[in-house]
């Protein structure tokens, strides 16, 4: 189980935050597939493995470890977004970040994967709000940075993460890697 603490249960007055449970898996999986289908319709190969039934980030395992966060509307509890926040690097992360097996504790990084927003809610700044919440609304014991990757050829997504304050670290194997240091949230 992960060691995280949700310190702000709201992204905004209309959107609540929850740690996903097994009962959420089907709905989160469908939201991720919805995004993969949309990417495919735009000519992107990003997340193409999902459309072939391959789950490289093991959504079920991530939910069981407490690493999946859902964002739901306050009014009707509709799923507006989700994200996987891994506290241990996956084989994928190890490859991209050049980590060896000696780094078994995952270091001080949280690895952000599969940030998705319901397609009916896109274009309204919700993605940026979710990224900001991830940086300030949740704490991870012993972690001081968030790392993520995205396909190098998706200029819009790469610009999005840079506009959100993530530092471009480099490109490896057709993927750009980004990192952002977390600021300590002071107790009130």
Q: Over the stretch 72-112, which tens digit does the pLDDT of each residue have? A: 999 999 999 999 999 999 989 999 999 876 655 568 999 99
What whole-number distance in Å separates Cα of residue 184 and Cα of residue 77?
30
pLDDT at 56: 83
pLDDT at 3: 82
pLDDT, the chain, mean: 91
pLDDT at 161: 97
114: pLDDT strictly greater than 50: yes
Would you call 178 exposed, middle or buried from its count of C-beta atoms within 10 A (0-12, 13-18, 19+)? buried
Lowest mean pLDDT across 98-102, 120-124, 153-157: 98-102
Would you call 155 exposed, middle or buried from its count of C-beta atoms within 10 A (0-12, 13-18, 19+)? exposed
pLDDT at 45: 83
Quote the distance between the C-alpha of residue 113 and its chain's center.
4
Tell which wins on pLDDT, 3 or 38.
Answer: 38
Which pTM was predicted?
0.92
Tell which wins on pLDDT, 2 or 137.
Answer: 137
Token code pair at residue 172: 């490896």
pLDDT at 38: 93
* 138-140 and 4-6 beta bridge pairing: antiparallel
Region 132-157: what's the mean pLDDT? 94
Domains along the chain with CATH numbers = 4-181 (3.40.630.30)
* DSSP calls for 19-87: E--GGGHHHHHHHHHHHHHHHHHTT--TTHHHHTT--TT-HHHHHHTT-EEEEEETTT--EEEEEEEES
pLDDT tens digits, residue range 9-29? 999 999 999 999 999 999 999
Region 60-66: what's the mean pLDDT? 96
CA dihedral defined by 182, 183, 186, 187, rounded to 10 degrees?
0
Torsion sign over Cα 170, 119, 87, 44: negative
pLDDT at 183: 78
pLDDT at 187: 42
Region 109-128: what's the mean pLDDT? 94
Residue 143: pLDDT band (50, 70, 90) is very high
């Amino acid at each position: 189980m992960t060691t995280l603490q949700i310190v702000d249960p709201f992204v905004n007055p209309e959107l609540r935050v929850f740690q996903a449970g097994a009962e959420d898996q089907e709905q989160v999986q469908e939201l991720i597939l919805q995004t993969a289908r949309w990417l495919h319709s735009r000519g992107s190969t990003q997340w193409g493995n999902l459309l072939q039934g391959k789950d490289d980030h093991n959504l079920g395992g991530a939910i069981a470890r407490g690493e999946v966060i859902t964002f739901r509307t306050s009014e009707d509890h509709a799923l507006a977004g989700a994200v996987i926040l891994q506290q241990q690097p996956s084989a994928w992360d190890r490859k991209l970040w050049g980590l060896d097996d000696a780094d078994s504790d995952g270091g001080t990084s949280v690895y952000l994967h599969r940030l998705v927003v319901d397609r009916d809610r896109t274009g309204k700044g919700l993605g940026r709000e979710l990224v900001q919440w991830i940086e300030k609304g949740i704490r991870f014991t012993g972690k001081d940075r968030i790392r993520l990757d995205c396909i190098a050829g998706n200029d819009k997504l790469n610009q999005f993460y840079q506009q959100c304050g993530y530092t471009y670290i480099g490109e490896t194997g057709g993927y750009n890697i980004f990192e952002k240091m977390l600021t300590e949230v002071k107790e009130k």
